[in-house]
Structure 1
């Protein structure tokens, strides 16, 4: 879908046309990708796949493009999952806000944000939009109802909530990750991205737990759900998610080939799990390894820092056994008074498990 949604006048009196692009719109997408070519490679890869409609089965993506005389001068985007799997919340992502340097200071970002939020508020499937922002951008977004997480911050995570959903992000956090619900493990897909790389990442209990939960060794090459999904798209393994009966996504796991071509047979397992659902960690690990076994994947290893005691306990209970120990190989709190070194354990899944 491609349509003009508004004609606005910028601060200097210049008229700007605002175009809404909802993928797939391949012809328009090429110009939009050229406009956003400054993005980092991984980010641009995701944008390219979205605007070309490759994620359209799982994602609702809307791009608001400001044009002057047919030339793009500004851009903003929001995305929501397009899935019917019993989710109570429609967790969205807002971002990629960009103004051509020659056109900055004329109110383009504010106009695009206003129109985008009008559209989001009319979209029945959306509950909230999450993003990260620096101090300058944050001041703009706050004028439109975004809140910092926590509220006294001046940069970092932000949230825009529909009033009917929750009064603030802390309340949404508590409700979304309410403990004790039944769970199931399934294959992950792009429609899970905003829940896991935004909602989970911004959750206060998970932020507190990250000091005792690290991605070690080659697992650090896939530090986010989206990064792991790119490996899956390249045919280098699989990705699972842990979903509650309310539809909340409370963790994910992967079995991926993260090494070079010389290590193509070596598969790495790792997982992320909200603290309220640590009791489901063994099931998440075992069922993910069972998925790998069905795909005829063997020789699955993982690395864990000895200081991550709960993570190590889950891995051992799931059938991983220590193969090697690298003494003092992991540094925590570099350059701080709390700096400490810890062993790194290389574990291997038992053949009956993987």
Structure 2
């Protein structure tokens, strides 16, 4: 699908919109898109993100992800890109990324045009919220024009026009059935990001210890948006012990996530680290999904699992799932920037569950 837009300076912007499952491949044209996106970001784009980008452009990604890639050209030269993705089935949450404008063409409104073209169809099809991450104040200004607002650290979120952000957080993950446990899929990119970053936490400050995702504003905030999903998903694919289970409610929404990460070889290959996130209304289902993930991993020879906690409630959830305190590291977690000598700190509790 191709569109034309006349920019304010008189340039004609030709936008190629590559809809889910369409116009993908590994032709020289597709490779030029890949190189346009990866080279400018080097070294900011990590290898994991570049690997997923290659899959998105080539059309070899898991079909559970419904992604749209926008490529803008002026006089046949690529000048801008943008990408938006959601789940192929439950298309209510989106992730926005891989946005870049050629430095020689900045200030023309290219990113503004691409963001509108990416999001308008999403809202029209019933989308409820979309997430992105940026530290660039100019980019933040552009995104603000399209309804995005700061959420957590470098993360911004836009909710469906006419919806209050607080209402969305309060209602989206409310109880609707006990939920069904299933394996993670690539299409869960945005749903997992929401579960990780939602402000409706039930007091859990640390969302993911491995990826360092926190939420205790203004002193402690997240330093990532979509990248934690890419990293965890890639890690999940490398080792059969790296089990990742999610809990889906009656509306198809992710209300819990549990993933186990183990080394692929060496003396610690039978030991795994557990990360989990649970929506407030589903805390009573925590042990069920944790046990399901551990049981599957144990079939591959896993012998012990460790998890970290700084809150009493998280410790209680782990204890109910068979974990016992192994060690307590006093005042190790600092609730504020390292440069702030007056920032409060708290204990970090390491818990372990032995399997057989």
TM-score range, shorter chain: 0.7 to 0.9
User: Any idea what the Cα deviations from partners look like across 1:237-285, whole Å, max 9, x if unmatched?
Assistant: 2211011112111121112214774532322222111233211111111
Tell me which of 327, 331, 334 is aligned to 1:332: 334
Aligned to 1:139: 141
| Structure 2 residue 284 is the aligned partner of structure 1 residue 279 | yes
Aligned to 2:306: 302
Mapping for residues 153-172 of structure 1, pairs under 5 Å: 156-161=155-160, 163=162, 167-172=163-168
Aligned to 2:173: 177
| Structure 2 residue 96 is the aligned partner of structure 1 residue 120 | no
| Structure 2 residue 196 is the aligned partner of structure 1 residue 201 | yes
Q: Is the 8 A contact 2:49 2:230 kept in 1?
A: no
The CA distance in 1 between the partners of 2:3 and 2:121, in whole Å, is 12
User: Any idea what the Cα deviations from partners look like across 1:260-317, whole Å, max 9, x if unmatched?
Assistant: 74532322222111233211111111111122234x2321321323x32111111111
How high is the TM-score relative to the length of structure 2? 0.82
The CA distance in 1 between the partners of 2:101 and 2:341, in whole Å, is 38
Q: Is the 8 A contact 1:329 1:344 kept in 2?
A: no
The CA distance in 2 between the partners of 1:103 and 1:262, in whole Å, is 53
Aligned to 1:78: 84
Gaps of 5+ in 2: 214-223
Q: Is the 8 A contact 2:261 2:274 kept in 1?
A: yes
How high is the TM-score relative to the length of structure 1? 0.82
| Structure 2 residue 60 is the aligned partner of structure 1 residue 58 | no
Q: Is the 8 A contact 1:177 1:250 kept in 2?
A: yes
CA drift of 1:156 comes to 4.0
The CA distance in 1 between the partners of 2:126 and 2:301, in whole Å, is 38
| Structure 2 residue 229 is the aligned partner of structure 1 residue 225 | yes
Q: Is the 8 A contact 1:77 1:95 kept in 2?
A: yes
The CA distance in 2 between the partners of 1:154 and 1:229, in whole Å, is 22
User: Closer, same or farther in 2 for the Cα pair 1:32/1:97, shift >3 Å?
Assistant: same
Question: Between Structure 1 and Structure 2, how many residues are aligned?
Answer: 330
Q: Is the 8 A contact 1:148 1:155 kept in 2?
A: no
Aligned to 1:31: 32
Root mean square deviation, CA, Å: 2.9
The CA distance in 1 between the partners of 2:26 and 2:112, in whole Å, is 27
Q: Is the 8 A contact 1:215 1:304 kept in 2?
A: no
Q: Is the 8 A contact 1:319 1:350 kept in 2?
A: no
Gaps of 5+ in 1: none
CA drift of 1:328 comes to 2.2
User: Closer, same or farther in 2 for the Cα pair 1:129/1:327, shift >3 Å?
Assistant: closer
